[in-house]
Structures are given as structure tokens and as C-alpha cells.
Amino acid sequence: MTRILAIETSCDETSVALFRPPRTIEANLLFSQVEIHRPFGGIVPELASRSHVERLLPLMEETLDLAGVGLGDVDVIAATRGPGLLGALLVGLGAAQGLAFGLGRPFLGINHLHGHLLSPDLEEAMRFPALVLLASGGHTALYWMTDERSAWLLKRTVDDAVGEAFDKVAKLSGLPYPGGPAVEGAARDGDPTAFDLPRPRPKDPAAFSLSGLKTAVRRQIEWVDELSEHFVADLAASFQAAVGDMLAGALDQALSHHDGARGVYLVGGVARNRHISGHLTAVAEKHGLDLRAPSPVYCTDNAAMIARAAWSRYRGGERDGWDLQPRSRWEFGRWEADE
């Protein structure tokens, strides 16, 4: 049985996983840089790269120890190639290429978005064709997947990603970094109808847009002298409700146009948000489908999902070369409109 070692270093998490298809995760370890970036209220790319360099090899040793295997027992080596921070990507990609070269094993450079899209399959076989909504800190997009390697892009953000908007709203409201969980926590005590925030619906049916909503939140903050706990809770709840409505509207419309869907999935860091996943679950139910989201550890960045995407390419006969370069920007999927 094939054993894949995968490395993820695209952003602020160093992660290493050992995976045996179809869904045995022997180990999936993660070092989060949250404490390193917290004083700056956001990710500092140079500090991210340096921390990946310091943490990657010890984490790899720990991962192998935990699974009780040696490097010689690994059959395939994979790493995230992009999109992400170039300096951060280089650390994981270079390490994986060196390791694969030294061990004489096949190597694959994986699209991070492909990893997120297949993350539900780590726990339960995905049903295709599927509608998959990816909502993370860097990306917000809706895909139609006909199988595990073929994705059509239906809609994506033209400005901020949903997670990024959560992070910015948190910062404006004086909530701690990282913003997503902080906004969700504050919203628990708030009234979602307290502020009448817009539900942006761009004219272009292939676009999500969050900048208008973010500006509306900023304006509410500028009007008050003091950010009381009560005010922040109401604003967080109103913002979260607006995002939920916006995503639910998009999913509802997509499900109406794709009545052959057998699966519907919510992936990426924002899938950890209970209000949003609950709202989208209700939409899917209306169409007779059961929306699935991965367990929280597989929603946010992790190497297990990179190993899973590597498996889909490896078994399709794909291999990458030693000269593969990282890519800071890199789409996944084709535009349905172009077909």
C-alpha cells in the first residue's frame, strides 16, 4: 500500500503528514505560527519563512516517530507548490524535492486549493459530481467538481476572501488575532439584526464581493466613540449573518442550476464557523442534499489534505520534476464559461 509524506508551508502553518490511501492518516502534525505573528496583527512573510525553516525538519522527525516509520518506508513525497507566500512555499517545496531526490522517490508539487477541495474525502468518500464552496483566508470560490481531479470554477471573489474579511473586521473591532474565531465568539452574545448591513450581490454572476460589506462595518465603527462589548457583539453577529446570507444565496442559486449534484461541501478555514456551516446546511437540505464539512483540523491548513490531493494525481500517473518552481498565484480549476 502506498505511503505518502506531504509537507504544507504555504502560509503560517508548518505541517507534515503521513497518509495511506484511501483514508488512513497515520500522522498529521502542525506547528502554528499564530503566536509569532500576533504582535503584528497579521502575517509577516519573512518571519513565516524563518519559522518554517526552524520547524520543518524537527516536525518531520516527530511525524515519522509518531507513525513508527522510517524515511525508507515512504513511497511518494509531496509538498504544496502554491498559491501562498513565495518564501514560505520555497522551504517546504525545496525540502520535499531534496528528500525525494535523495531517496529516489517520485515527487509531486500540489496546488493548495486542490488540497482544500479534497479535504472532506480524508474522512468520508466524496460524492461526485459535487458543488464545493471554498472559504479560507486567501480564497473564496465555488466549484463544480466532476471527479477528484476535475474542477470548474463557477464563482470567485473579486476583492477580499471571506476569512480575510473576518480578520479585518476583527482588527477594526479591537478583537484579537486571528480574527475568524474571535468574531464568531463575539457574535455569540450579539443580535444579528442590530445593524442593517448589505448583502453584496455583484452584477457579474461569477463574482463574490466583500469589500462593500467590510466598508459598511468600518462606517458603523467610525460613528461611535467607544467600542463597547455590547456594540462589538452586535456588529460581529450582524456581519456574520450578512456573510452567511451572501454565501447561502450563492449556494442556493448554484444548486438550482446543478440539479445533478450528488455531494455538497464546505471547505477551508471558514468552514469551522458554526453559524455559516449551519446556514449552508439548511440550504442544501432544501435541495435534498446533506452538506458536509471536514472536522475542524482539516478545514484550516494541514498537510493531510495535500497528501490526499497528491494521491489523486499520483494514481493518475502524474509526476513532477526536480526543477518545479513555487507559484505565489495559481488558480485551480477551469472557468465553466470558457468550456
Residues making contact with Zn ion (CB under 5 A): 136, 301
What length is written for the chain?
Answer: 339
Which cell is 15 given?
505541517
Handedness of CA 240, 299, 8, 113 (dihedral sign): negative
**Residue (74 or 139) nearer to Zn ion, CB:** 139
Shortest distance, position 161 Cβ to Zn ion, whole Å: 10
| Amino acid letter for position 86 | L
Please report whether residue 126 would count as binding ligand KG4 according to CB under 6 A. Answer: no
Listed ranges 45-53, 67-75, 179-187, 283-291: which one lies at the site for ligand KG4 (CB under 6 A): 179-187
Q: Which of ligand KG4, Zn ion, none lies near 163, with the C-beta cut-off 5 to 8 A by kind?
A: ligand KG4
From the number of C-beta atoms within 10 Å of its C-beta (0-12, 13-18, 19+), residue 151 rates as buried
Q: What is the DSSP string of 194-210?
A: SS-------SSTTEE--
Which cell is 103 given?
531517496
Residues 6-35 that bind ligand KG4 (CB under 6 A): 11
Shortest distance, position 105 Cβ to ligand KG4, whole Å: 27
Q: Which of ligand KG4, Zn ion, none lies near 254, with the C-beta cut-off 5 to 8 A by kind?
A: none
Whether 117 and 134 have beta carbons less than 8 Å apart is answered as yes
**Interface pick for ligand KG4 out of 82, 180, 190, 326 (rule CB under 6 A):** 180
At residue 77, the 3 state secondary structure works out as strand
Please report whether residue 160 would count as binding ligand KG4 according to CB under 6 A. Answer: no
Please report whether residue 270 would count as binding ligand KG4 according to CB under 6 A. Answer: yes
**Residue (97 or 111) nearer to Zn ion, CB:** 111
**Distance of alpha carbon 240 from alpha carbon 232, whole angstroms:** 12
Question: Could you tell me which residues come within 8 angstroms of residue 181 by beta carbon, excluding any fewer than 6 positions away?
Answer: 272
**Interface pick for ligand KG4 out of 114, 214, 272, 313 (rule CB under 6 A):** 272
Whether 154 and 137 have beta carbons less than 8 Å apart is answered as no
Shortest distance, position 163 Cβ to ligand KG4, whole Å: 3
Please report whether residue 269 would count as binding ligand KG4 according to CB under 6 A. Answer: yes
From residue 212, alpha-carbon distances to 12, 187, 242, 269, 297 in Å are 27, 20, 11, 22, 31
Listed ranges 18-26, 124-132, 148-156, 270-278: which one lies at the site for ligand KG4 (CB under 6 A): 270-278
Shortest distance, position 65 Cβ to ligand KG4, whole Å: 25
Please report whether residue 119 would count as binding ligand KG4 according to CB under 6 A. Answer: no
**Interface pick for ligand KG4 out of 136, 140, 238, 281 (rule CB under 6 A):** 136
**Distance of alpha carbon 157 from alpha carbon 203, whole angstroms:** 13
**Residue (130 or 271) nearer to ligand KG4, CB:** 271
**Distance of alpha carbon 225 from alpha carbon 118, whole angstroms:** 46
Which residues contact ligand KG4 (rule: CB under 6 A)?
A: 11, 136-138, 163-164, 166-167, 178-181, 184, 268-270, 272-273, 300-301
